[in-house]
Amino acid sequence: MMLSVSRLKELEKRWERNRKRGSVRGYIVEVLDDMADLNYRGLERPPGLRATDFVQELERLALEWGDRRFAHAVRALRELGIVNERGGFSKKRGPHAISLEASAMDYAVAKVWDLMKGRNFSEQEASAVVATDLGWGATRTTRFESAVQHLRQASGRARRIGKRARG
């Protein structure tokens, strides 16, 4: 099935309406079973939190309470590279933090593949439909054609990676 010019124009108009929803930013976390009791308030670090103060407070608590868990926390921060050598926080993310943007891309690619298999759409048409439905590439400077091309490229990369993993 080929994408006609009129169908492309129709999808572009719908995409314009849907793109006003905005883009996806941030992170989500997989909470491990043994940490479900923690008071989770989001992944973003409080803006005023300084690594040197945080580490110093953990060290002080270790000595004051005689509890090695505070000292283990300080060592873990350093070993994992969360606190750098100068004593500041690094921008490093843990393996249980998943970018919302990457998660959205995986979802969009899966939708493209579903349309290609289920409705026998070409990759171009499936990418156009998904870009329209999701408002993909919803920034002021993004054009519809660019959003569709971005999804096509992501679909192709994911397919090549999948073949390498299987082969």
* pLDDT number for residue 62: 95
The backbone torsions φ and ψ at residue 46, rounded to the nearest 5 degrees and listed phi first, read -55, 135
What is the average pLDDT across 63-67?
95
CA 61 – CA 21 distance, rounded (Å) = 46
Q: Is 116 in a helix, a strand, or coil?
A: helix
Confidence of residue 22 (pLDDT cuts 50, 70, 90): low
CB atoms within 10 A of CB 157: 12
* pLDDT number for residue 158: 81
Residue 95 has pLDDT above 80, yes or no: no
CA 106 – CA 159 distance, rounded (Å) = 12
Confidence of residue 17 (pLDDT cuts 50, 70, 90): confident
Cross-strand bridge partners of residue 27: 99
Return the percentage of the chain with pLDDT > 70, whole number.
75
Residue 51 has pLDDT above 80, yes or no: yes
* pLDDT number for residue 98: 67
CA 160 – CA 54 distance, rounded (Å) = 44
Confidence of residue 26 (pLDDT cuts 50, 70, 90): low
Are 146 and 140 within 8 A, CB to CB? no
Cross-strand bridge partners of residue 29: 97
Are 71 and 59 within 8 A, CB to CB? yes
Residue 10 has pLDDT above 80, yes or no: yes
How does pLDDT run across 117-150, given as a tens digit for each residue?
A: 888 888 888 888 888 887 776 555 568 888 888 8
How far out from the chain centre does Cα 95 lie?
12
* pLDDT number for residue 44: 66
What is the average pLDDT across 23-41?
62
**CB contact set of 135 (below 8 Å; sequence gap of 6+):** 15, 18, 19, 20, 21, 22
Q: What is the mean pLDDT of the chain?
A: 79
Rg (CA), the chain: 23
Beta strands 97-99 and 27-29: pairing type?
A: antiparallel
